[in-house]
Chain A
Amino acid sequence: RKEVEQDPGPFNVPEGATVAFNCTYSNSASQSFFWYRQDCRKEPKLLMSVYSSGNEDGRFTAQLNRASQYISLLIRDSKLSDSATYLCVVSRGGYQKVTFGTGTKLQVIP
């Protein structure tokens, strides 16, 4: 079983739609969780950290469920510019123990 698993997609959604991604992790000792965005052949960019209490940044909401070992990302009112691959990132402590998921591809359609 992979340490971090994501549905690769692609998720094709119309503009304005709400879309949600899930990511599961296998190591219960995982401490920190992040969502990164990666455009084709570009470097990943931090979208948001994920906290147990849940956190929101504009149209983006992230949740962490430690009991079930998954994190989620919700995007409301999708924009064309949201089209990218979203990477789930899990850390077991420090940046040397970071594992990236394979990413979920989102395509927002006009």
Chain B
Amino acid sequence: GAVVSQHPSRVICKSGTSVKIECRSLDFQATTMFWYRQFPKQSLMLMATSNEGSKATYEQGVEKDKFLINHASLTLSTLTVTSAHPEDSSFYICSAAGGIPVEKLFFGSGTQLSVL
């Protein structure tokens, strides 16, 4: 079964609204989670690293005021796309590192965001 749960799987919203995406690690504690974005026919691009109890670290070119990340617990990180615009339409995926004995990178199932 999935070890990282991501919701919702699909969102359609109007331009100007905010959208929250949740990422939960199941059965393990993830002090660090990662948020990626993938445009059609392009690679996964790391947007930010979410650290439990502290501010997220954003990659160059990613607006921290537009993509709000909260990692309030060891099992939950949220990404909020504020004032979404059509160009924000993309596939957003979270991941968390964990696993014993070998640490692996587990991905959520992704969220397809469509902004009208």
Contacts and interface: CB of A to CB of B under 8 A. Distances in A.
Interface of A: 4, 8, 41-46, 87, 95-96, 98, 100-103
A101 B43 contact: yes
B1 to A, nearest CB: 13
B32 interface: yes
Interface residues of B, number: 21
Contact of A96 (B34, B41, B91, B93): B34
Contacts of B91: 41
Nearest to B104: A46
Given A8-B41, A41-B91, A98 B105 contact: yes
B74 interface: no
Contacts of B95: 95
Contacts of A100: 43-45
Interface of B: 6, 32, 34, 41-46, 49, 91, 93, 95, 97, 104-105, 107-110, 112
Contacts of B6: 43
B43 A87 contact: yes
B34 A43 contact: no
A43 B108 contact: yes
19 contacts: A41-B110, A41-B112, A43-B6, A43-B93, A45-B107, A46-B105, A87-B43, A87-B44, A95-B97, A95-B105, A96-B32, A96-B49, A98-B46, A98-B105, A100-B44, A102-B41, A102-B42, A102-B43, A103-B43
